[in-house]
Chains A and B, each alone.
Chain A
Amino acid sequence: MAQRLIAWIDQRFPLTSFIKRELTDYLTPRNLSYWWNFGFLAGFLLMLQIISGVFLAMHYKPDVNLAFDSVQHIMREVNYGWLIRYLHSTGASAFFVVVYIHMARTLYYGSYRAPRELMWWSGQVLLILLMASAFMGYLLPWGQMSYWGAQVITSLFGATPLIGDEIVLWLRGDFVVGDATLNRFFALHYLVPFFIVGMVIIHLVALHHVKSSNPSGINLADKDNIPFHPYFTAKDLFGLGVFLIIFCGFVFFAPEFFIEAANNIPANPLQTPPHIVPEWYFLPFYTILRAIPDTLGGVVAMGLSILIFAAMPFLDRSRIPGGARFRPFYRAMFYIFMVDVAVLAYVGSQPPGGLTFKIGVAATVIYFAAFLTLPFLSRWEERWLRARGLPPALQALLDSETEPKPRREAR
Chain B
Amino acid sequence: MSLRMFICFISLLTAQAAWGEGALKDVEIDHSPAALRRGAATVTSVCLPCHSLKYLHYRDLLKLGFSPEEVTGLSMGNKPEAALLALMPPDIGEQTYGRVPPDLSLMAKAREGGPHYTYSLLTGFYQDKTGETNNHLYPSIRMPDILGWSSADAAQRAVLETQANEATAFLVWAADPRAAERKRLGYYTIAYLVLLTGLLYLIKRKVWARLG
Interface residues of A (CB under 8 A from B): 30, 33-35, 69, 72, 75-76, 82-83, 86, 226, 230-231, 234-235, 237-238, 240-242, 244-245, 248-249, 251-253, 255-256, 261-262, 264-265, 342
Contact = CB atoms under 8 A, between A and B. Distances in A.
Given A83-B182, A252-B182, A261-B110, A231 B200 contact: no
B105 A72 contact: yes
Given A234-B208, A238-B197, A252-B189, A76 B109 contact: no
27 contacts: A30-B211, A72-B105, A72-B106, A75-B178, A230-B207, A231-B208, A234-B203, A234-B207, A234-B208, A235-B204, A235-B208, A237-B200, A237-B203, A238-B197, A238-B200, A241-B193, A241-B196, A245-B193, A248-B189, A249-B186, A252-B182, A252-B183, A252-B190, A256-B109, A261-B109, A261-B110, A264-B109
A265 B109 contact: no
Contacts of A251: 186
B82 to A, nearest CB: 15
Nearest to B175: A264
Interface of B: 3, 13, 55, 102, 105-106, 109-114, 175-178, 182-183, 185-186, 189-190, 193-194, 196-197, 200-201, 203-204, 207-208, 211
Contacts of B3: 33-35
A397 to B, nearest CB: 19
A244 B193 contact: yes
Give the most central of A69, A240, A244, A256: most B CB within 10 Å.
A244
B5 to A, nearest CB: 12
Contacts of B109: 256, 261, 264
Contact of A245 (B102, B105, B185, B190): B190
A82 B182 contact: yes
Contacts of B196: 241
Contacts of A255: 182
A342 B114 contact: no
Contact of A82 (B13, B112, B114, B178): B178
Nearest to B13: A342
A241 B200 contact: yes
Nearest to B102: A265
Given A83-B182, A245-B190, A253-B186, A231 B207 contact: yes
Nearest to B10: A97
A92 B211 CA distance: 37
B207 A253 contact: no
Contact of A264 (B110, B200, B203): B110
Contacts of B193: 241, 244-245, 248
A238 B204 contact: yes
B120 to A, nearest CB: 14
B60 to A, nearest CB: 8
A241 B182 contact: no
A248 B105 contact: no
A249 B55 CA distance: 27
B101 to A, nearest CB: 14
A248 B186 contact: yes
Contacts of B208: 231, 234-235
Contacts of B105: 72
Contacts of B178: 75-76, 82
A76 B183 contact: no
A403 to B, nearest CB: 24
Contacts of A253: 183, 186
A234 B200 contact: yes
A254 to B, nearest CB: 10
A253 B176 CA distance: 12
A252 B186 contact: yes
